[in-house]
Chain A
Amino acid sequence: MIQKVTMRAAALLFALLLIGAAVFSAFAAGSATYALTDDAGVFDASQTAELKAALDNAGKTTGWQFIVHTSNDGIVSDEDLESHYNAYYDRQGFQYDAIMLVIDRGSNKRDILTYGDVRAYFKDSSRYDIIKQAMRPYLNKDDMYGATMQFINKAVEVHDMGKTSPILLSLQKYGWIAGLLSVAAGLIFFFVNKSRYKNMGKSGTYDLAANSSVQLTEAQDDFVTQHTTVRTIQRSSDSSSGGSSHSGGGNSSGGF
């Protein structure tokens, strides 16, 4: 009897814990499909409502979390902007797969940051440019609502384009190097073989070791002097001090 009561109490406690965790999670991250924090007061109430609907819709379509965050932080440097909002992302406990538009009214800078699986869609940096180009006319008119709507629409388009193929990406980035190397390799192959066919059997005609002998009558080895030279080794880490500024595992489009 006591055992039964204990088991029920444990099950109840476990269920309560699960419910508590879910509530806490929802409270911390907001909606699973989107998050909109307008700390800079950029959007009016109707715009906010429309944006929330669009963000929610985009989040449901893509399975990503769409985050729009406005602030008056006044961060000027692109690197600082990226690390600052990566830290913000970490603090807020957003979804793992997310895309975040940051509008810093203080510095008049914008940035698009991607996280988790979303990064695979943006490995080709030109995809950021698709969004940026669509946003630019609105930004020029200081129409943040229009720019944000463009961000949402174009991000969905990028999602529909699928993940960037690593091969295609490598081809875009390193194709010209591989092309040059392949031409060089082809030419070397051609001329080396041509030369091998032309001069076949020219070497190794005389074996000096087998056809010579020496009887030494004098063998002197006198030490004359010695000198030592010292060279400072330039380590690769010396030249790249400062390192990467990424935090929170996010990728940035670079401020714009």
Chain B
Amino acid sequence: MATMNYKCPNCDGPLTFNPDKQRFTCEYCLGEFEPAQVQQMNEQKEQRETYDEREVRSAEAKQQQTQAADEGSGEYAVSYTCPSCGAEIVTTSTTAATTCFYCYNPVVLGSRLSGEFNPDRVIPFELSKEKAIERFLEMCGKKWFLPKGFAGKEQFEKLNGVYFPYWFADEQKTAHMTATGKKIRTWTTGNKECTETRIYHVARGGNVQIRNVFERALKSESRDMLQSVHPYDMGKAVPFAMSYLSGFQAEKRDLEKKDVEPVIEQKMHEYTEQVLKNTMEGYDIIETDSFNEHTDLAAYTYNLLPVWMVTYKYNGEIIPFAINGQTGKAYGHLPVAAGKLAAGAAIVAVLVFVLGVLGGMLFL
């Protein structure tokens, strides 16, 4: 059912995208292929699969309606057949790429990312799993209060590369702002301190461009995590190709543009005001009197961005941890060993006490 995998033209082994080499590699014959080459090889297959998606999607829609009615939930499971071994692959309704649990071959569920769900751009993984683990362990090395054994490599064997969906917006606005600007000068004469405040009426107007304002397009994952793993260098985004997902997991959006638009517009409003405010230079205080804006152009795009993700259980709580698959920036809640932290606090307290007593000797 509507599944794809990318096979090596030399040995028919599975092809996966290698972040270090930025090429597709075959782990069996060690062949390497340019992304364009793989896309060209699989173009026909992708198109055929896409054609089949209509049937698939209508079947999914029926299944979704049935299960949602039965269970009262928007989440439902869908089963696919692995193109390599024929095993049944069960995924959530938003999974777009995964790995077969039997043969471990990468499987792309084409139906999830075609037609209206076809992303505009994708940033391919730049950070390999090994580097992501290295980054994480490096960061853990600087954290003294982690529980013993937490920062072991085995903890991160479960690290998964996931493409998460995001909405991005670029807007061009005409904006106008008036404000009261204050320049403050202070000087001392004898035992008098004089403060002079000069007040200005400041006005700024112009065309403001704000780019790459983002909002997650997947409601099932923690918003904090999906938002905090940014920033990404969107200059490195490439037109979407299904083949980039091979070897990784991918999620399709379940939040539409209309769902995220109010949040993005609020951010645009704040950023536009800030940009105009930043042009009011030379003032110590700026108080906004009026601000109005008009959106001249707005463009929303749907993008897939790479994240290395792992969840771990600590004190009965399942906590996600994410690493930006392009820059290596990490986000997450790290567990704290209360005993170690208390000991650290006690050492600090003792040091402060000793310094306090030694400092007190100066005032005897």
Interface residues of A (CB under 8 A from B): 123, 166-167, 169-171, 173-175, 177-179, 181-183, 185-187, 189-190, 193-194, 197-202, 204-208, 211-233, 235
Contact = CB atoms under 8 A, between A and B. Distances in A.
A174 B201 contact: no
Interface stretch (B11-19, B51-59, B116-124, B345-353): B345-353
B231 A207 contact: yes
Nearest to A179: B353
Q: What is the interface of chain B mostly: helix, strand, loop, or mixed? A: mixed
Nearest to B319: A198
Contacts of B356: 174, 177-179, 181-182
Nearest to A191: B345
Given A175-B360, A181-B353, A212-B275, 10 more contacts: A167-B358, A169-B361, A170-B361, A193-B336, A197-B334, A197-B335, A211-B213, A223-B200, A224-B200, A228-B194
A224 B348 contact: no
B301 interface: no
Contacts of B195: 228-231
Contacts of B205: 216-219
Contact of A178 (B193, B207, B231, B357): B357
Interface string B252-287: 000000000000000000010011100100000000
B210 interface: yes
Nearest to B363: A174
Given A174-B360, A205-B230, A228-B195, A218 B203 contact: yes
A200 B330 contact: yes
B199 A214 contact: no
B62 interface: no
A161 B201 CA distance: 74
B336 A233 contact: no
B357 A167 contact: yes
A201 B213 contact: no
B196 A228 contact: yes
Given A189-B344, A230-B194, A232-B191, A212 B204 contact: no
25 contacts: A169-B364, A171-B357, A177-B356, A178-B355, A178-B360, A181-B356, A189-B348, A202-B331, A205-B228, A207-B231, A208-B274, A211-B210, A211-B212, A213-B208, A213-B209, A214-B207, A218-B205, A219-B279, A220-B204, A221-B181, A224-B180, A224-B200, A231-B195, A232-B191, A233-B188
B329 interface: yes
Interface of B: 143, 145, 176, 180-181, 188, 191-214, 224, 227-231, 271, 274-276, 279, 329-336, 341-342, 344-346, 348-361, 363-364
Contacts of B207: 214-215, 217
B145 A197 contact: yes
Given A201-B330, A218-B204, A232-B191, A194 B364 contact: no
A187 B199 contact: no
Contacts of B191: 232-233, 235
Contacts of A198: 333-334, 336
Given A178-B352, A202-B224, A208-B274, A214 B279 contact: yes
A167 B361 contact: yes
Contacts of A225: 198-199
A227 B231 CA distance: 45
Contact of A215 (B193, B206, B341): B206
Q: Which 3 A-B pairs have the closest CB atoms?
A: A178-B356, A174-B360, A186-B349
A206 B213 contact: yes
